[in-house]
Amino acid sequence: MSSGRRSNTAFLVAVVLGLLASALPSNAQQDEIEVADFGVGFIVSLGGKLYDNLWTATAAKPPAHRNPAYPPVPEVNDADTWRCVSCHGWDYKGIDGERAVLGRHKAFKDLRPLADNDPKSIVDKIRNSHPDIPDDAIPDSVLEVLAIFISVGMYDRDALIDDTNRISGDRDRGRDIFEGACMNCHQPDGRMPLRGEKGDRSSLGWIARNRPEQAVHKILNGVPGAEMLAVGFLEPHQIVNLLAYLQSLDPDEK
Ligand code: HEC
Ligand code: HEC
């Protein structure tokens, strides 16, 4: 990734501070946070990218050593042990959740009960729950954006995806969205080369069938360090239709 893009994102984080100040006055009540509001929608998707990989989404560097709180799973590299998603999952449910790409551990905590909680209390919880993350590793501004994401940005996995990973939506309507908003980049068969996560196939169809939670999180919030459209503004039924169509792409790539 170019350093130019990194500093752009660092700049965006600085801009978000200004947005935050106007969107969330110090006495902000929960009901003042509206995902539909453009400014807050932008902050939420930035929070989703920070949750995915805050080291790629900002200019900050992860600690140089492995996170001692992460289990000794050799296939997970040291930097990835500091990603929120590595422990809490693409569905935010920790140990109770999806078959995580990056490995899981029984101590990892379900974040879903924090949905709709006051972001300020979530900031305190993040600070207090991770003794291994050095206090100065994550700036307060980044924690605030993460807390807003946890409060209002986490999608409800069980409302979208069934137990067999299927998403039942209207594929024809999903195709309309794909052709209008995604195909230029991802190509008609969804096989634009993807960096993705370790072990993944470079195929949107494969990702949507095998890693649906990861696909939904990245579609709603975008991908840190990548020129990817975030479509968190779509209605849940549109997301379901889009995912149903993605699951039908490239069927030979099991
Ligand atoms: C190495 C694994 C690991 C990583 C990385 C990690 N967490 Fe956690 N997190 C945990 C564990 C374990 C707990 C539960 C701690 C406890 O109960 O004392 C927790 C607790 C939390 C809580 C409090 C949950 C509650 O209900 O009290 C929040 C919020 C949270 N994490 C958010 C984050 C965010 C945001 C990130 C990324 C900046 C992150 N976590 C990174 C393992 C991790
Ligand atoms: C401007 C180009 C662009 C558009 C438009 C776009 N994407 Fe992407 N998308 C990307 C890039 C770049 C990546 C990151 C690829 C990588 O990881 O190397 C990506 C990543 C993804 C991923 C994550 C795959 C993984 O590795 O986990 C999914 C899922 C995805 N896009 C779906 C969509 C959908 C659905 C749409 C339409 C609503 C869309 N994208 C629109 C460029 C785009």
Q: Tokens at residue 231, please?
A: 């479509």
Q: Are 13 and 46 within 8 A, CB to CB?
A: yes
> Which of 56, 184, 186 most suits a substitution to test ligand 2, by most atoms within 8 Å of the C-beta?
186
Cα distance between residue 22 and residue 39, in whole Å: 9
Q: For tokens 């995915």, what's the residue?
A: 52
Predicted local distance difference test score (pLDDT) of residue 198: 84
Q: Tokens at residue 61, please?
A: 């560097």
pLDDT in tens, 158-203: 999 998 889 999 999 999 999 999 999 999 999 999 988 888 999 9
Question: Average per-residue pLDDT in the chain?
Answer: 83
How many Å is the Cα radius of gyration of the chain?
A: 18
- Name the residue with the closest Cα to ligand 1, atom 23: 125
Q: Does the C-beta of 58 come closer than 6 Å to ligand 1?
A: no
| Angle made by CA atoms 248, 155, 79, in degrees to the nearest 5 | 90
Q: Mark 94-107 as b/e (b = at least 16 C-beta within 10 Å).
A: beebbebbbbbeee
Cα distance between residue 60 and residue 55, in whole Å: 6
Question: Which listed ligand is nearest to 222 at the C-alpha?
Answer: 2
Q: Does the C-beta of 146 come closer than 6 Å to ligand 1?
A: yes
Q: Does the C-beta of 182 come closer than 6 Å to ligand 1?
A: no
Please compute the mean of the pLDDT values over residues 206-226 and round it to a whole number: 94
Q: Does the C-beta of 234 come closer than 6 Å to ligand 2?
A: no
CA of 124 to the centre of ligand 1 (A): 11
Q: Does the C-beta of 163 come closer than 6 Å to ligand 2?
A: no
Predicted local distance difference test score (pLDDT) of residue 189: 96
Please compute the mean of the pLDDT values over residues 50-71 and round it to a whole number: 89
Cα distance between residue 177 and residue 174, in whole Å: 5
Amino acid (1-letter code) at residue 105: H
Q: Are 250 and 189 within 8 A, CB to CB?
A: yes
Q: Does the C-beta of 182 come closer than 6 Å to ligand 2?
A: yes
Higher pLDDT pick, 57 / 99? 57
Q: For tokens 């305190």, what's the residue?
A: 124
Predicted local distance difference test score (pLDDT) of residue 2: 37
Q: Tokens at residue 17, please?
A: 């501070």
Q: Does the C-beta of 201 come closer than 6 Å to ligand 1?
A: no
Cα distance between residue 179 and residue 177, in whole Å: 6
CA of 219 to the centre of ligand 2 (A): 7
CA 172, chain centre distance (Å): 26
Cα distance between residue 189 and residue 206, in whole Å: 11
Neighbouring C-beta atoms of residue 235, cutoff 10 Å = 8
Highest mean pLDDT (candidates 40-44, 88-92, 148-152, 233-237): 148-152
